[in-house]
Structure 1
Amino acid sequence: MIAWERIRTVLLDMDGTLLDLRFDNYFWNEYLPDRWGSSLGLDPGAARTELMARIARRVGTLDWYCIDFWSRELGVDVMALKADIDHMIVYRPHAEEFLHRLFASGRQVVMVTNAHRKLLTLKIERTGIDRYFHHIVSSHDYGAPKEIAAFWERLEAEFRFERANTLLIDDNLTVLRMARDYGIGHLLTIAEPDSGVVGRDTAEFAAIDSFMHILP
């Protein structure tokens, strides 16, 4: 599935790729609406409907991923609420073994995530995932989400990778399409980013359900 002999740089997403997206989906779809709704006297269903409408208006923008934005928008401490359920932050199947092998392979390994730096810190504290990367880049560092070309331009300017010899693994199909358009040579996605949701259509992209299938 991956011609490792051709790969010199590996770009890896975090949420839904290396870490189980169940934490994030549960937080935004259930935990936050419940807590936010309670603070406003709304029932969970009404709170969720209102929150999803606000989120939908920000899809594809940096605000969508910004902890500070949502704390201001909703009048709650989003990071404190995330910390309430941080026991749900876990690796996807065999992801840590894959990272260990990859880091030892001599290739440049870079995390590329849309996660806000505050959330990234929480997940590093919980998993120790930073030990497996030469560099960690949040799209907030560049002021542009991975869904737009400006992110990739900044990334390439900083790390000088060869597009044809670079692999990106990401669960976000919109991000993969942007990376493909930018010229990233090797692309792979995840069949089940959220352990609570069985299967999905990954469109034109090859997908894995376990990192055991692509150990370098």
Structure 2
Amino acid sequence: MSIQEVRAALWGDEKNPHGHITHVLLDMDGTLIDKYFDDYFWKHLVPQIYSEKQDISFGKATEQILALYKHHEGTLNWTDIDFWSEQLGLDIPALKEQVRHLVDVHPHVEDFLKVLIKRKKQVVLTTNAHYKTIAFKMKKTALGKYFDKVITSVDMGVPKEYEGFWINAQQTLGFNKKDVLFIDDTLEVARSAASYGLRYVLLKNMASSREITTNNSELLSIDNFSELLPE
């Protein structure tokens, strides 16, 4: 499969002038929104504030916090900011507000979303993020108006890395696996979606504007949403 084939399935060609993809499922952090914000927040700001609160070195704070992150990775706790506020004794939502200026949308995301709406595709934000995080990001970026529906790992009862998410997502949205495009920046999540049988799964490279990622040969990938715009 090629990007040109994805575009044809999405926008149409001579055989099918409207394209047969009906649902476009899009991850949020790293895919639509620059992951630099989250990298800075969780790997720098949170350890810094925690080190001050606990009166320990930044290095020691980082070591302790990364161990906690690792322990809860792949669970519903992973993106639950209320859980992390309680675990770390910090007001995570308030800290996010302090650096909200770092939240930014990847290039050509809005161009892509506008065409999806114009072509009457069902556009679904599909994320592991906590609802407070979604509200915070949508308020800052104004992307919320483009989505027909939002489904989260809490709604589905399991993170996107697991088949149960996709089983419940299909039941919730009523899509045909062959008529879905899903885009995510996390390889494990993209693998999960492809394994479940979603026909069109793309990996978004360059999740963070400050970190260059190499193309993944296992799955079809894009660096920029301009690659998916109709010609």
TM, length-normalised to structure 2 = 0.90
Which residue of structure 1 lines up, in the alignment, with residue 216 of structure 2?
A: 202
- In 2, the alpha carbon distance for the partners of 1:200 and 1:58 equals 27
Structure 1 residue 203: Cα displacement = 4.2
Q: Which of 106, 111, 121 is the matching residue for 1:107?
A: 121
**Pairs aligned (count):** 216
How far 1:125 moved relative to its partner?
Answer: 0.7
Any gaps of 5 or more consecutive residues in structure 1? none
Q: State which of 18, 23, 27 in structure 1 corresponds to 2:37.
A: 23
Give the conservation status (yes or no) of the 8 Å contact 2:177–2:199: yes
1:86-165 aligned at under 5 Å gives the runs 86-165=100-179
Query: In the alignment, which residue of structure 1 is the partner of 2:15?
Result: none
Question: Structure 2 CA distance, aligned partners of 1:166 and 1:110?
Answer: 11
2:194 to 180, 191, 195: 180
- Residue pair 1:102, 1:215 contacting (<8 A) in 2 also: no
> Do the aligned partners of 1:124 and 1:130 also contact (CA within 8 Å) in 2?
yes
Q: Once the two structures are superposed, what CA deviation does each residue of 1:48-85 show, in whole Å capped at 9, x if it has no partner?
A: 11100110111111111111111111111111111110
Write out the 4+ residue segments of structure 1 that deviate beyond 3 Å after TM superposition: none
The separation in 2 between residues aligned to 1:133 and 1:54, in whole angstroms, is 33
Q: Shift of the alpha carbon at 1:202?
A: 2.4
**Cα distance in 1, alignment partners of residues 66 and 45 from structure 2:** 13
Give the alignment partner of residue 54 of structure 2, picking from 26, 36, 40: 40
Structure 2 residue runs without a partner (length 5+):
11-18
Is the CA contact 1:130–1:136 (under 8 Å) kept in the aligned structure 2? no
Structure 1 residue 6: deviation in Å? 3.0
Match of 1:78 in 2: 92
Q: 1:165 to 1:83 in 2, by over 3 A?
A: same
The CA deviation string for residues 137-161 of structure 1, in whole angstroms up to 9 with x for no partner, is 1212222111111211111111100
Deviation at 1:186, TM superposition (A): 0.3
1:201 Cα deviation after fit:
4.7
**Paired amino acid for 2:98:** D
Say whether 1:49 aligns with 2:63: yes
Residue type at the aligned position of 1:128 = A
Please state how far the C-alpha of 1:109 moved relative to its aligned partner. Answer: 0.8
Residue identity in the other structure for 1:107: K
Kindly provide the CA deviation profile for residues 109-149 of structure 1, in whole angstroms up to 9, marking residues without a partner as x.
11101110001110111011111111111212222111111
In 2, Cα distance between equivalents of 1:136 and 1:128: 14
Equivalents in 1 of 2:115, 2:187: separation in Å?
26
Q: Distance in 2 between matches of 1:37 and 1:71?
A: 15
Contact 2:215/2:221 (<8 A) preserved: no
Paired letter, 2:146: Y
Q: Residues 203 and 51 from structure 1, CA distance in 2 versus in 1: closer, same or farther, beyond 3 angstroms?
A: farther
The residue type paired with residue 205 of structure 2 is A
TM-score, normalising length from structure 1? 0.97
Task: Give the CA deviation at 1:162.
Answer: 0.4
Question: Cα RMSD (Å) of the superposition?
Answer: 1.1
Question: Residue type matched to 1:117 in 2?
Answer: Y
SS in 2 for 1:57: helix
Cα distance in 2 for partners of 1:84, 1:143 equals 31
